[in-house]
């Protein structure tokens, strides 16, 4: 990949990857609504609003691969999700097609499938069960990625990111933790592996409590170096500080499931066993 564009460069994941990607992709172009406050003199940056097609086309010019981490990264009002993640996500794929981009790695989320119970191990081919408006936008992004792979020949990889960080911070994250260096591995597979057409990976390190079957990523060479159980004592100590959450503690999406929940809690177990 001679030139790689990374959107969302000022966000939490983007800030971390800005330090890890340059040795692998020296010609890295960064983008976000505004430049990161700590932008280095050797970093290349172009501002863009993802909801503006002309601006998105401009940042895709001359680009070979895209790491798409831009957009609204948490649950929020529908209009904010619509503009940043749905319109913005479509614009990104369409601009990539117009400008001859070869590969797109799309930052999806575990929240696309957050309403699966924690005791239910799932693969990447399950029916989407989003836990939020944010999760819905990630389901949309995966669908658009599939369309552009099948109809236009774009190589697309969707990574359903668990919880990105230096260590898992509670009981739930022992199952879904993603070490930054392991995300870089998944990105590299998406950008460089010759067999990529359309793939969905789970963005998770080596987590013995994992709820997800991530065998396809392993088939394509993924070898995570992070092990969640190494941080078990810290995670469980932090968990002890949290209040019980009958809905969030049951489903994989955690608090995204219990947020605004006004369904019948007594039906949770019965639904999951159908």
Just list the catalytic residues.
Answer: 134
74: nearest Cα among 48, 30, 50, 109: 109
* Residue 106 CB neighbours (<10 A): 25
- Residues facing residue 189 across a β-bridge: none
Question: Which residue in this structure is represented by tokens 């693969």?
Answer: 123
Question: Which residue in this structure is represented by tokens 């998406």?
Answer: 190
* Residue 232 CB neighbours (<10 A): 15
5: nearest Cα among 66, 56, 70, 77: 66
Q: Is 111 exposed, middle or buried (0-12, 13-18, 19+ CB in 10 A)?
A: buried
One DSSP character per residue, 93-112 reads HHHHHHTT--EEEEEEEGGG
């Amino acid at each position: 990949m001679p030139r790689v564009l990374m959107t969302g460069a000022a966000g939490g994941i983007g800030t971390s990857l800005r330090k890890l990607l340059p040795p692998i992709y020296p010609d890295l172009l960064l983008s976000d609504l505004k430049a990161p406050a700590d932008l280095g003199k050797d970093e290349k940056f172009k501002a863009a609003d993802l909801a503006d097609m002309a601006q998105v086309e401009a940042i895709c010019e001359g680009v070979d691969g895209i790491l798409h981490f831009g957009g609204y990264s948490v649950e929020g009002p529908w209009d904010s999700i619509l503009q940043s993640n749905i319109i913005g996500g479509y614009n990104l794929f369409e601009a990539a097609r117009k400008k001859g981009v070869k590969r797109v790695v799309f930052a999806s989320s575990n929240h696309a499938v957050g309403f699966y119970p924690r005791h239910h191990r799932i693969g990447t081919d399950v029916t989407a069960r989003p836990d939020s408006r944010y999760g819905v936008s990630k389901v949309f992004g995966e669908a658009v990625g599939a369309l552009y792979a099948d109809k236009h020949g774009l190589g697309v990889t969707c990574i359903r990111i668990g919880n990105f960080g230096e260590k898992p911070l509670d009981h739930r994250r022992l199952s879904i933790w993603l070490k930054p260096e392991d995300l870089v591995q998944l990105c590299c597979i998406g950008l460089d592996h010759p067999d990529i057409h359309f793939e969905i990976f789970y963005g998770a390190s080596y987590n013995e409590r994992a709820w997800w079957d991530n065998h396809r990523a392993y088939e394509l060479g993924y070898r995570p170096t992070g092990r969640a159980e190494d941080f078990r004592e810290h995670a469980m100590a932090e968990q002890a500080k949290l209040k019980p959450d009958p809905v969030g503690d049951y489903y994989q999406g955690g608090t995204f499931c219990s947020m605004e929940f006004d369904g019948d809690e007594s039906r949770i177990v019965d639904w999951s066993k159908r």
